[in-house]
Amino acid sequence: MRRLEINGQFADMPTEPVGYTWQYFDMLDPSKRFNPYTTTIKLPKTPRNVSIIGYGHATGSSLSTARDIPNVNYYLGPLRVITGGYLKVINIDSTINVTLISRTTIQDSLEAMDMADVFRQAATDTGTIAASYADTITSLLAGTDGWILHRTIEDPVTSKTWTIHDYSVPNELPQHELWVKMSLLFDALESLGSFTFTVAEGGALVDLQSSTFYSSVLAKLYTPAWNYIIYPASYPSNWYPRELTTGTRTVNGKTFEYSAVKLFGGRNPWEMIKAIGLLTCSIIYFDGSSIVIAPFSEMDTFTVVNFTGRVKKPPVKYINLPGYEATNYIRYRNSDNLAETFAQGEIPADVNPVNTKVLLQLDLMLPGRYYNDTEARNLWNTSYPENGDLASVPLVLYDGGTTTTGTAVTIIFTAGGTRSSSGNVKVLRQYSILSGYLSLYAAALQGTVYEVDMDMNLYDLYRLRPYALVRVNELGGLFYLNRISNFDPYNGSAAKAQMIKMFAIDKPLDLKEVTERFATDYAAAFAAVGITVTYYNGGDKTIILTASTPGIDMTEYPSVEILAEDLKGVVANAATNAVAKARRDTVTLTGTSGRATIVCNGVSRTAVWNTSLIQTATDFVTANAADYLAAGVVLTRSSQVLIFTAAVPGTDFTGATTIANISPNLAGSVATLQANVKARARVDNIFVTGTGGLIKISCNGISRNAGYKLQ
């Protein structure tokens, strides 16, 4: 029995079938599925229904009050499949045509909330970071209390001294902003709202703060709090995150008003939650008063739902995922001097790509980069007034454990006295997008999609979980249930289901296997572009790329990009390219008469004086050039100088070139103008380290991935 409850009143239902759609996450379009249940119903235009809807059919009336009706529950038998959802009236003719969406009032409250309130709550929850300035800086360098100092300063980093606040100039000028952990913002949301976060991981639903997702992901992601600084409650003691709502700050000569600052790119908390979900490839849905975060990578840790024997007729099979017939990209919204391909995740298909497409454009930005001589590396240009995109697109960076190098940074706060402390400042990087999308990567690379007619009942719907895989043995194993459509347990028809074959990923890596598998799998591909791939698994686990032809240099030297987790590849050049050069010896004739014996590359011939040294040299070349050429030596002359050049560059002469007088004084001097140089191939070693992940290795115009193994 179907029942529709609208604001506590049950509507009259139609007698014809009502199709129902179940979908939490769309593998083919990850950005658009956050309302998992939808259905369209043609309600009969009975007096009860007209009253519930609000008489929107009346002449001259407006449908505006009926367009979005909250507090809607939809039941299939005893199972409430939509709780606190929305009803949208499409139109009213002979029937009242409506769509039900599992959007909740929690989502409404999140969309109505201001991010400034969330940051303010995070600062309130933090309170005093430390009593002393030194302990405060220690906390801000490590992120112990959820806040860090990030190096957005008034000038490029040119020294190891950083004045973060200067009261000695008029109007008290702060010269820093704090950055806050995403985990602290999620905590603040729980404090502000009447809901909690739950994470589906390790085969169970756990509280957010107890999850690995919280400690390993959210607690390492930072976003800038542009109008927050560190400040003492009573100088010089009790330092806390202070919000600035008035005044200005100048960075590199450009000024912005604190009152006009937009935190998290001006987005609302619901958009923030979705952004983190998309960044980490997590399903986000509402379950009562809980917001559930279900990382896609955790699906294989949950009990499988068995649907074996439910397929009603032969399925429609796709060789690859629809739309995945070429390389798919997951990208940040890059600004300034970053190419759109910078830091993108790449999901290939097991076919020869003929085109590419962007699967997902994250609503997160990476700012431009500049090379800093003091740090000898690229740093982010996170200057709020210089990069206008920072006011309209959120910025989230990842703490990979990197800090400033060399001498510690001295951090000074001046206000009627000077406080100084030192330490190494965090250097944040982009989050490796593909870390969360590895299951999607595996499915795209090896998987198969089936469109099936499946026999389902209400109990099956009750058993389904968005974070669990299903087993269909007749189709070959485990699948992700991407979508159920046209499901009506009362009309006797099979439901339409889209199922994607899943492959497990062997995450803990044997580095020996990584190097061996890369060499085995991709030797032919690299050989086609002039590169020989080998490996060495001694003390270092090494992938070796060698130019196939000595003397012909690589057109693109090897590079490595980290795609996921902590697997790394460090490139070290072992040998440079060397072009072969031919040995060239000269014999400069001297004397006025007689004969002399000349030996080169084992060939001995006699030079006979004739009129002059030049004529003598000419006669020697004419008489003996063919004999020397047969021995691999090209014989020429310039004036009275005989020139012996190896015919094949890189092939040396046997022994020294000599001249010896016979009589009376014809002789000469010998010189080597060019020693023999053998051709040498360029060789680059890639030292592989880490415990798990994926890297992209590029050389000579092609790229291949090393790392995770598909099971």
Res. 63: pLDDT tops 80: no
- Considering only residues 49 and 619, tell me which one the structure prediction assigns the higher pLDDT: 619
pLDDT value for 154: 47
- Counting Cα atoms < 13 Å in the Cβ hemisphere of 201 gives 20
Tokens of 215: 């400690």
Q: What is the pLDDT of residues 461-494, one digit of tens each?
A: 888 888 889 999 988 888 888 889 888 888 878 8
Q: Which amino acid is at 677?
A: V
Asked if 374 and 159 count as a contact pair (C-beta separation under 8 A), the reply is yes
Q: Which of 325-329, 408-412, 465-469, 580-584 has the lowest mean pLDDT?
A: 325-329
| pLDDT average, residue stretch 260-289 | 92
Q: Where are the beta strands (DSSP E) in 591-648?
A: 594-600, 603-608, 633-638, 641-646
200 vs 212: CA distance, rounded Å: 10
Inter-CA distances, 179 with 223, 368, 382, 675, Å = 6, 18, 11, 62
Res. 153: pLDDT tops 70: no
| pLDDT average, residue stretch 90-117 | 88
pTM of the model: 0.77
177 vs 210: CA distance, rounded Å: 29
* Most confident by average pLDDT, 255-259, 287-291, 450-454, 563-567: 255-259
Res. 247: pLDDT tops 60: yes
114 vs 92: CA distance, rounded Å: 36
Q: What is the pLDDT of residues 355-364, one digit of tens each?
A: 777 888 899 9
Asked if 570 and 689 count as a contact pair (C-beta separation under 8 A), the reply is yes
**How much of the chain exceeds pLDDT 90, in percent?**
50
pLDDT value for 13: 93
pLDDT value for 630: 96
Q: What is the pLDDT of residues 659-697, one digit of tens each?
A: 999 989 999 999 999 999 999 999 999 999 988 778 889
Asked if 273 and 285 count as a contact pair (C-beta separation under 8 A), the reply is no
Residue 425: alpha-carbon gap to chain centroid: 23
| pLDDT average, residue stretch 522-535 | 95
Q: Interior CA angle at 170 toward 167 and 174, to 5°?
A: 45
Mean pLDDT of all residues belonging to the chain: 88
pLDDT value for 131: 97
Q: What are phi and psi of 674, to 5 degrees?
A: -140, 115
| pLDDT average, residue stretch 153-181 | 77
Asked if 359 and 482 count as a contact pair (C-beta separation under 8 A), the reply is no
The pLDDT-based confidence of 59 (bands split at 50, 70, 90) is very low
Omega before 236 cis (within 30°)? yes
Hey, is 251 helix, strand or coil? strand
The pLDDT-based confidence of 64 (bands split at 50, 70, 90) is low
The pLDDT-based confidence of 60 (bands split at 50, 70, 90) is very low
Name the nearest CA neighbour of 109 among 190, 183, 30, 23.
190
